[in-house]
Amino acid sequence: MTVENALRHRKSCRAFLDSSVDRKLLRTIIEQASRAPSNGNLQPWQLFILTGDPLASLKATTRDAIAQNQPLSTPEYAVYPKPLKTEFDARRFAIGEDMYRVLGIAREDKARRRAQFAKNALMFNAPVGVFAYIDRSLSYGQWMDLGMFLQSLMLLCEDHGLASCAQGYWTFFHDNVRAATGAPDDLMLACGVAIGFEDTEAPINQVQSARASIDEFATFID
């Protein structure tokens, strides 16, 4: 697969098949993703990869917490600033609306919207949960590096017929994730990444996220 095709075909998968992912393949693509560049070659990514019973248990604990309306943890970092500038807020609103439109869920149907959102807790049925941490002493530069690692990982997934979905959602459950991963306190949870095989029959996977036109974000100066 060319890089162009991997980029074109990667999307956030929100319904996975039950099929498990080969352990050796998983290790290989995670190792390959570490070829991602990083400022000063710091390689600041720290991953915990959960499968099988440990992942099932984290999903169940999180699902139960939601069902019981337990308060969410305060994320360890602000995923979005408050307030979000209008142009960004509009994009965030649009992807939500695109998803609910594909699913035929009306704006006023809060119960179904909540139920769809809650599928995050089950990692959309993915058999692999990658939890990406970063040392909390690190700065913006290293967060960029972590992003490059994660995109490399998701493109490698694509190359091997695997689907993925990055999930900032888990920052609201960082305590649960820490209990499941045993991550030391000097690490901060950046996000989760669900990995598995796409359920191509699931309507949610038909969502096509929009992109701003190049002229909105690139200025060529000759």
Residue 217, H or E segment: helix 214-217
Does position 14 interact with ligand FMN (CB under 6 A)? The reply is: yes
**Residue 209, interface with ligand FMN (CB under 6 A)?**
yes
The reply to whether 165 sits near ligand FMN by the rule CB under 6 A is yes
Task: Work out which of 157, 166, 180, 183 binds ligand FMN, going by CB under 6 A.
Answer: 166
Q: Is 167 in the site for ligand FMN (CB under 6 A)?
A: yes
Q: What is the per-residue binding string for ligand FMN in 110-129, x denoting contact by CB under 6 A? A: ----------x---------
* End-to-end CA gap in the chain: 33
| Interface stretch with ligand FMN, choices 37-45, 54-62, 65-73, 164-172 (CB under 6 A) | 164-172
Three-state secondary-structure class, residue 195 = strand
Q: Which is nearer to ligand FMN, 56 or 207 (CB)?
A: 207
User: How many helical (H) and strand (E) elements, i.e. helices and strands, does the chain have?
Assistant: 8, 4
Q: Among 42, 60, 95, 179, which residue interacts with ligand FMN (rule: CB under 6 A)?
A: 95
Q: Interface mask (CB under 6 A) for ligand FMN, residues 172-191, using x and -?
A: -------------------x
Q: Rounded to a whole number, what is the largest CA-CA distance in the chain?
A: 59
Specify whether the CB–CB gap between 170 and 189 falls below 8 A.
yes
Q: Which two tokens stand for residue 10?
A: 């990667």
The footprint of ligand FMN on this chain (CB under 6 A) covers a number of residues equal to 12
Q: Which is nearer to ligand FMN, 127 or 192 (CB)?
A: 192
In whole angstroms, how large is the CA radius of gyration of the chain?
A: 18
Q: Which residues bind ligand FMN (CB under 6 A)?
A: 11-12, 14, 95, 120, 165-169, 191, 209
